[in-house]
Chains A and B, each alone.
Chain A
Amino acid sequence: MTWEMIHLKFSALKESRWYEYLVRFVLGGLATCLAGLVADFGGPSLGGLFLAFPAIFLASATLIEAHERRRKRERGLHGNRRGRQAAALDAAGATFGSAGLFAFAIVVWLSATALPFWTVMLLALTAWFVIATAAWRIGYFV
């Protein structure tokens, strides 16, 4: 059994163009505004629902597919299959990440009225990290 370490790859930042980051920031901002508007009109419960709206995912998965295809085409290959595989892996990772998001929400739900704000955030972020990493580890070996 081999363990693959999670590591940062800063060179990947150079592969994206500035407007690709802009698209992600704008979509993320729009999703946050949408959640706020929905909360104003439909209540905090419905607003919280839209905090998990997959706005950035659509742009990210499309860009990942395009990057992988471009990389393969630079080597004279077609790249369509590789691009789709990379996007599918991104989606699989997002499934594991959603387990962490679920844990984050549960911790905030249970402790928001009993503990100070920053304590709640620290606990929730810790829960997110532990559960998301554990889900990824389990998914990696299944």
Chain B
Amino acid sequence: MAVGALAFAFFSFSVCQLIMRLNLSAFAASTAGLLVWFAAALGLEQVLIR
């Protein structure tokens, strides 16, 4: 869950940036952000837990 929380921080920060800098809609930015969440969550899980 701690690793998931870090991934969530990456996710929400990137969603904020995508909306403000690229003018994406909330839905498009959140959907794109899910890729960031998966990459961060699975990557950090590999590095920090396994």
Contact = CB atoms under 8 A, between A and B. Distances in A.
Nearest to A89: B16
Interface of A is mostly: helix
B2 interface: yes
A109 B2 contact: yes
A34 interface: no
Contacts, number: 112
A133 interface: no
Contacts of A52: 1, 3-5, 7-8, 41
A83 B26 contact: yes
A62 B26 contact: yes
Contacts of A51: 1, 4
Interface string A53-71: 1100110011011000000
A108 interface: yes
Interface string A33-54: 0000000000001101111111
Contact of A98 (B12, B19, B31, B49): B12
B30 A94 contact: no
A102 B2 contact: yes
A95 B26 contact: no
B5 A91 contact: no
A54 B5 contact: no
Contacts of B12: 54, 57, 91-92, 94-95, 97-98
A95 B6 CA distance: 9
B30 A99 contact: no
B1 A108 contact: yes
Interface of B: 1-9, 11-13, 15-16, 19-20, 23-27, 29-31, 33-34, 37, 41, 45, 49
The 7 closest A-B pairs by CB, nearest first: A52-B4, A87-B26, A105-B1, A105-B2, A94-B12, A91-B16, A102-B5
